[in-house]
Structure 1
């Protein structure tokens, strides 16, 4: 197995502009038009989004992690979302008798799908972000989820948040943004200890000897 690339960035800590950007997004309305194909995708699985234990696997790629989540939480409904049909088309097809029934994969723009979910007043049980693109250059800050204009929608969806990355600064920034919004979280190093990797990415990172990190944030108290 080939080694996975490590994150290369000139950034050595939380971005100095992060707080101002997060506060701006929290106080303004994001009004980009919703893509038609995402609206159709949302409508096509709307009934399954009514499950009381709803998990979003954000940026699920080939859906490896979506299957793992469905197996680990058989009483939940897991929705894997990715914008790339090329990645989703590589979804591993398990033997029919072994394939969990409690997950769906959706091709959609994440930014739009989340906002549709918020408009529909959906509340997540858990929201998973496994190894998102770190956009490690300092000038790419607002491409990171916690510094994007859609961050308030992530918060409004509620639920426990789990984020994994091989770049600790990404988690530290996400934690900082959550703190600004009044939510607490914890960061810890992930250790394999015989556990099944959540995705092919995680497996490659472990085989490469990279340090992996996990952020966990409990769901906000119900109002």
Structure 2
């Protein structure tokens, strides 16, 4: 039985952050030169080898990226629903990645789970220019305090690399303001996203399951990047 014990997000921010446009413009006009972490480089090499093998045997194959994948439940669901694709799940927590391997028996082989810092891996993957058809960012840490705007993905320097990663992007959150901000940030790259409520019979992630059991709503952003992927 799933208990609805997930508390709603509380914040001292009641709408889109007043500094959002200024922060996004600053990051879009400057270089992001953060050094790559060793474990991110190691993780990227693992992904690179898996992608090379996949594309060797599937020259017309596509890749799906599942960022902030947590314990990898969403990665597994995406792999099951897209058997002809290679699904890459990435999370910064080694503990969460190992938790999937401990609790689940892997019955399919078209996905990989990697620990890595997305501030690094998004840049490396963008440069690799793989045929990524869809990118999912499901329930990232919302960092709801107003002072933490730049810890949210749309307020971070790496944000500008997101349109270079995939043809399509889906972002989902239980804090509607996060999705509203993400959408507004994309307009600075001349990208228009669609926002809608999201609900299905079956949850894709443990967080999603808890939120719904607690009566919370999910808000989803969907966008097609057209020619921005390069």
TM exceeding 0.5: yes
The aligned residue for residue 45 of structure 2 is 43
Distance 1:66 1:8 in 2: 28
- Report the Cα offset of residue 110 of structure 1: 1.0
Q: RMSD of the alignment, in Å?
A: 1.6
Determine if contact 2:4/2:212 at 8 Å carries over to the other structure.
Answer: no
Alpha-carbon distance in structure 2 between the residues aligned to 1:145 and 1:208: 25
What residue is the counterpart of 1:215 in the other structure? 221
Q: Give the conservation status (yes or no) of the 8 Å contact 2:132–2:165.
A: yes
Structure with higher helix content: 2
- Does residue 103 (structure 1) correspond to residue 111 (structure 2)? The answer is yes
Match of 1:206 in 2: 212
- In 2, distance between residues paired with 1:12 and 1:197? 28
| Aligned partner of residue 5 in structure 1, secondary structure | coil
Q: Distance in 2 between matches of 1:53 and 1:26?
A: 28
TM-superposed deviation, 1:144: 0.3
- Which residue does the alignment assign to 2:163? 155
User: Of 65, 74, 87, which aligns to 1:65?
Assistant: 74
8 Å contact from structure 2 (residues 64, 132) kept in 1: yes
Matches of 1:123 and 1:40, distance apart in 2: 21
Which string of whole-angstrom CA distances, capped at 9 and with x for unpartnered residues, describes residues 9-45 of structure 1?
Answer: 1211111111111111111110010111211111122
Q: Give SS of 1:43's match.
A: helix
Please give the secondary structure, in 1, of the residue aligned with 2:12: coil
CA deviations over 1:158-199 (Å, ceiling 9, x no partner): 32110111000000000001111111111111123x2x2111
Aligned to 1:3: 5
Q: Which ranges of structure 2 fall in alignment gaps of 5 or more residues?
A: 56-60
Instruction: Structure 1: give runs of 5+ residues left out of the alignment.
Output: none
Kept after mapping to 2: 8 A contact 1:158/1:220: no
The residue matched to 1:91 in structure 2 has which SS?
helix
2 CA distance for matches of 1:28 and 1:220?
24
TM-score (norm 1): 0.92
**In structure 2, distance between residues paired with 1:75 and 1:82:** 23
Q: Distance in 1 between matches of 2:51 and 2:24?
A: 28
Quote the Cα distance in structure 2 between the aligned partners of 1:60 and 1:109: 12
Query: CA separation in 2, counterparts of 1:4 and 1:139?
Result: 23
Q: Which runs of 4+ in 1 moved over 6 A?
A: none
